[in-house]
Chains A and B, each alone.
Chain A
Amino acid sequence: MIIKVLGSGCMNCKTLEQRTVDALKNLNIDAAIEKVTDYQQIATYGVMRTPGLVVDNKVIVQGRMPTVEQIQELLTSHAA
């Protein structure tokens, strides 16, 4: 599982990253999180609202701040 957090480094992006780390820990998934801060790269994902969360090249969150539980749900449903 490749996980990317998209955002230029604003407060929201850091919070999302932290919550994703927590969610992965709760789910016992060992996956690396990559931060994408370059606007050019963010745009190539078609994301227009930060923060964004990309799992295996699929954008699962954009422009909102999901809770740790919601991220866990999204990750499990993605894996299924």
Chain B
Amino acid sequence: MRKKVIVITILFAVWIALYNNLERLTDLLVYSLIQLDKEAPLTSAIHFFIYEVPKVLLLLTLIVFIVGIIRSYFSPERTRKMLGGKKHFAGNVMASTLGIVTPFCSCSAIPLFLGFVESGVPLGVTFSFLIAAPMINEVALVLLFGLFGWKTALLYMSTGLLIAIISGYIIGRLKLERFVEDWVYTIKAGTTEIAEEQLTVSDRINAGIEAVKEIVAKVWIYILIGIAVGAGVHGYVPENFMASLMGKSAWWSVPVSVLIGIPMYSNAAGIIPVVQVLLEKGASLGTVLAFMMSVIGLSLPEIIILKKVLKLPLIFAFVGIVGSGIIIVGYIFNILY
């Protein structure tokens, strides 16, 4: 245990030193060691790539580690217990917030939905959770923070929360319970014993390390490709290339981006570098944000899975309400910025 703490402290010190000197190291490597021409577009692309890749990976490792530890305190069972009996608005707020910290994988969406509904968590509150959990996650926040700064990350998080809260609230108010497949409400979770895991601090640190291994192993390649594309575009594609298509003046671009985003499915790591390119080339923030939320938050595979427990009217209501929320957020940002 003590050894683990020492190792982590040393690693953290190395992390800080590296992160704070990244720009200097990149300059040194690109301009002094390889001696590339400062004015050439290729140099600018190479510099961008060499600087951004370690920066994003460093941020990702740290945040995923911390979130991994935080998540070890929140299990779906505990979240469900906290949400049971919560009514309307307060329940929606709580469910959306818990959606950020509770471990969630879209392949578990159905068992989780069943577990919530069966134990008496209201339908609208369950939806708040199911909307927030995939849309707002640590990978998305890290990438937004790393590439656009903390304001954009915070903006994304707060508007995502807002959409989850309000959409869940509306779904709850519309009383759509009759559009849940009938068998769902007849399930009685059996008397099966579930071993309650007692975690020590050491276990929680391990959970953080496991999370880093798992997530970084899964997303590093997307980040690499994304930043490489970004670097290429950074150096070569003219500024404002996207302005006429996804700029502020194109009012229709927000709904069109959302519609295009729904059948597309990608995780945050895959889509954010694309987002960066779009933004840099003149697309407006609201349009790009709406596109990103639609790709991550609403996806065809997820909808097909949900069909097993929800009847069509409820699926349409879900997609319609969340989609409208995203469109509104897109317009608001286009007006504000």
Which residues does chain B contribute within 8 Å of A47, judged by CB atoms? 111, 115, 194
Which residues does chain B contribute within 8 Å of A43, judged by CB atoms? 111, 114-115, 118, 187, 189
| B111/A48 in contact, CB under 8 A | yes
Q: How far is A42 from B193 in the complex, measured between Cα atoms in Å?
A: 14
CB within 8 Å of B: which A44-66 residues: 44-50, 54, 57-60, 62-63
Q: Which of B103, B190, B308 contacts A39 (CB 8 A)?
A: B308
CB within 8 Å of A: which B142-196 residues: 183, 187-190, 192-195
| B308/A49 in contact, CB under 8 A | no
Residue numbers of B with Cβ under 8 A of A are 76-77, 80, 103, 105, 107-108, 110-112, 114-116, 118, 183, 187-190, 192-195, 308-309
| B192/A39 in contact, CB under 8 A | no
Query: Given contacts A39-B309, A49-B76, A58-B195, are A44 and B108 in contact (CB under 8 A)?
Result: no
Task: Please indicate which of the listed interface residues A44, A49, A63 has the most CB atoms of chain B within 10 Å of its own CB.
Answer: A49
Q: Which of B118, B187, B193, B309 contacts A59 (CB 8 A)?
A: B193
| B110/A46 in contact, CB under 8 A | no
Q: Which of B187, B193, B308 contacts A44 (CB 8 A)?
A: B187
| A48/B80 in contact, CB under 8 A | yes
Q: How far is A40 from B308 in the complex, measured between Cα atoms in Å?
A: 10
Which residues does chain B contribute within 8 Å of A44, judged by CB atoms? 187-190, 192
Is the CB of A80 closer than 8 A to any CB of chain B? no
Residue numbers of A with Cβ under 8 A of B are 8, 10, 12, 39-40, 42-50, 54, 57-60, 62-63
| A49/B105 in contact, CB under 8 A | yes
| B103/A46 in contact, CB under 8 A | no
Query: Closest chain B residue to A11 by CB distance?
Result: B107
Query: Given contacts A39-B110, A42-B111, are A54 and B118 in contact (CB under 8 A)?
Result: no
Q: Which of B77, B192, B193, B195 contacts A48 (CB 8 A)?
A: B77
| A46/B76 in contact, CB under 8 A | no
Query: Given contacts A39-B114, A44-B187, are A49 and B108 in contact (CB under 8 A)?
Result: yes
Q: Which of B77, B103, B195 contacts A60 (CB 8 A)?
A: B195
| A40/B187 in contact, CB under 8 A | yes
Q: How far is A59 from B77 in the complex, measured between Cα atoms in Å?
A: 13
Q: How far is A50 from B112 in the complex, measured between Cα atoms in Å?
A: 9
Which residues does chain B contribute within 8 Å of A63, judged by CB atoms? 76, 103, 105, 108
* 7 residue pairs from A and B, CB less than 8 Å apart: A46-B192, A48-B114, A57-B192, A58-B195, A59-B193, A60-B195, A63-B103
Q: Which of A8, A46, A49, A54 contacts B189 (CB 8 A)?
A: A46
Query: Given contacts A39-B308, A40-B183, A59-B195, are A46 and B190 in contact (CB under 8 A)?
Result: yes
Which residues does chain A contribute within 8 Å of B116, judged by CB atoms? 48
Minimal beta-carbon separation of B204 from chain A (angstroms): 14
| A12/B193 in contact, CB under 8 A | no
| A48/B309 in contact, CB under 8 A | no
Query: Closest chain B residue to A12 by CB distance?
Result: B107
Query: Closest chain A residue to B187 by CB distance?
Result: A43
Which residues does chain A contribute within 8 Å of B194, judged by CB atoms? 46-47, 58-59, 62
Q: How far is A63 from B72 in the complex, measured between Cα atoms in Å?
A: 12
Which residues does chain B contribute within 8 Å of A8, judged by CB atoms? 107, 110
Q: How far is A68 from B189 in the complex, measured between Cα atoms in Å?
A: 29
Minimal beta-carbon separation of B7 from chain A (angstroms): 21
Q: How far is A44 from B184 in the complex, measured between Cα atoms in Å?
A: 11
Q: How far is A60 from B196 in the complex, measured between Cα atoms in Å?
A: 9
Which residues does chain A contribute within 8 Å of B105, judged by CB atoms? 49, 63
Which residues does chain A contribute within 8 Å of B193, judged by CB atoms? 57-59
Q: How far is A54 from B192 in the complex, measured between Cα atoms in Å?
A: 9
| B103/A59 in contact, CB under 8 A | no
| B107/A50 in contact, CB under 8 A | yes
Q: How far is A40 from B80 in the complex, measured between Cα atoms in Å?
A: 18
Which residues does chain A contribute within 8 Å of B76, judged by CB atoms? 48-49, 63
